[in-house]
Structure 1
């Protein structure tokens, strides 16, 4: 974000510097499930909201909270102060109502419950190069902790589903699957990507592949979307097990968790499991090659510092270099939604 005038102004400095205020207002609303409650009732007064959420702040501070959400565009407002009726905006009604399949608030829930506090240690992470999450000070690495704690794991899986469901739907519709028959999603979590590919491509037989702890969640997704004839969940460890063979192999928000050595190892395992003419697809917040546009990708890469220490997000040029090093014949990039792209390597 740049100052577009020739005169000095503190506006952008203050906007970014106080950004955590705005962030926490939205995260608190998600944590309260405010948008879900509003979707059920269509509109509510401040008093009704206060009573429903059991808030003990002053009326003035409640108005400040709701009107800030209105100013940000997350709420609509009819009336003023005591007479105001609040309702969801189009975006919040679509993406932050927990009762809709389009709900993407899982990532925001994880940001509120975990990442918000950890990001307060960004300076320490940059100084030391060490993780700043639950693994700090000798704790277990994040993925070991997640897969041992059902509550943490569910929150993480919901977060990954929330941040990626729009991109998975976009890939399922934008990529030409007509030339292929079998599909494997490595690190498939709750099975959403396999489900979306099956839903939009009746020719595809899909497998979602992840650790045993998430198999039940994946099967629940498969049943929910009624695609059991096309999709199956298979348990395995993508570090220690060979990948099942498939024409198309994907990884959604997997490569960025790891250092370059492990990125190459995972891409090599995908290459080995593909037939000639097969396709490997990574879905990430791919940073633009000039590193001046996709700020979300840069921030996500810093989040990998917080979470894993040596994981990082990357550019298409990085991906292209790794793909050629492994032996893929060509690469391409496909924009999905927002800051997310699919980078594609053809064997």
Structure 2
């Protein structure tokens, strides 16, 4: 016999609106992705334009143009007045190509990599297996594209995000205490470039897989920073981590299980010079596991990798202390991430 603690709510008493909104949440994201792909925000970069003119410029068909542009306005990405449209402050700041804070590359990247994989979530939930889609058909392969041009595009998409991370780290950390840092998984060197430009006394090393070297060399040379940022090719778990005053691990630990995280942080502790620091940032799960965005990010890592997942802030602190670090602190970062900082004791 089934019992309840109170009367069962009737359909009339419970608004299904939140459920419907959740059911079609991907529609809003696809509107954004299409607007970036079609160049809507670039077309409006210089000011308001008539809707028909925007449609002609971007190639949007007349039959869909009004609903499409008005949907963008409803989502807060455009502003509409008298049949004319302009970018909202949000879009003008982050979605106009060539703008300093442009995030379009990251948006294109998520459109390319997320939908095919998440379309197989039910299969993954039933089997427990990661969904490795065929890279030759555009499937998610992270930075492991067989085609160097696709790998370059993937890493360039991440640059937009690493710009913001670099600016945050440049402002939050007292870099006057250090002269060098190593960026684990530094890819093309973009985050390192932001830091050394903000703090000219710093010298950086990007430690990443050897196949990344040509892309790093091209990008850092283009930035004119070859005398400030070095590249070290190798594997985190088999090759020595380059010694430095600070080590940055951004979006690294979420790719491994807890044991591998402990192993890597012990290796990082060996590489940090006495009195130095380690900086870890990820979409860490809040300790009571209640933030849905963090949990969705963790689910994504489990979906696309055999061992990866996000981890609790408390777990990160425990691993760092086990590795020998002290003075562990955690703080929110960019509204979506957590930055955990810990220190290595100075030499006696």
TM-score of the superposed pair, with normalisation by structure 2: 0.87
Q: Residues 46 and 141 from structure 1, CA distance in 2 versus in 1: closer, same or farther, beyond 3 angstroms?
A: closer
Distance 1:263 1:111 in 2: 26
Give yes or no for the alignment of 1:316 onto 2:313.
yes
Name the residue aligned to 2:280: 282
Distance 1:65 1:54 in 2: 12
The alpha-carbon deviation at position 224 of structure 1 amounts to: 4.7
The alpha-carbon deviation at position 213 of structure 1 amounts to: 3.2
The alpha-carbon deviation at position 135 of structure 1 amounts to: 5.8
| Correspondence 1:95-244 to 2 at 5 A | 95-134=94-133, 142=141, 145-146=144-145, 148-244=146-242
Q: Residues 144 and 193 from structure 1, CA distance in 2 versus in 1: closer, same or farther, beyond 3 angstroms?
A: closer
Is there any run of 5+ residues in structure 2 with no aligned partner, and where?
Answer: 1-12
The alpha-carbon deviation at position 253 of structure 1 amounts to: 0.8
Name the residue aligned to 1:44: 49
Distance 1:63 1:141 in 2: 33
Is there any run of 5+ residues in structure 1 with no aligned partner, and where?
Answer: 1-6
Distance 1:160 1:119 in 2: 20
Task: Describe the SS at the equivalent of 1:247.
Answer: strand
Q: Is the 1:167–1:340 Cα contact (8 Å) retained in structure 2?
A: no
Task: Describe the SS at the equivalent of 2:267.
Answer: helix
Distance 1:62 1:329 in 2: 57
The alpha-carbon deviation at position 193 of structure 1 amounts to: 1.6
TM-score of the superposed pair, with normalisation by structure 1: 0.88
Larger Rg: 2
CA RMSD of aligned residues (A): 2.3
Distance 1:143 1:25 in 2: 24
Q: Residues 212 and 45 from structure 1, CA distance in 2 versus in 1: closer, same or farther, beyond 3 angstroms?
A: farther
Distance 1:38 1:234 in 2: 42
Name the residue aligned to 1:3: none
Q: Residues 273 and 135 from structure 1, CA distance in 2 versus in 1: closer, same or farther, beyond 3 angstroms?
A: farther
Name the residue aligned to 2:18: 12
Name the residue aligned to 2:293: 296
CA deviation vs aligned residue, 1:196-222 (integer Å, no higher than 9, x gap): 211222221111222233334334443
Give yes or no for the alignment of 1:23 onto 2:20.
no
Q: Is the 2:143–2:154 Cα contact (8 Å) retained in structure 1?
A: no
Distance 2:218 2:47 in 1: 30
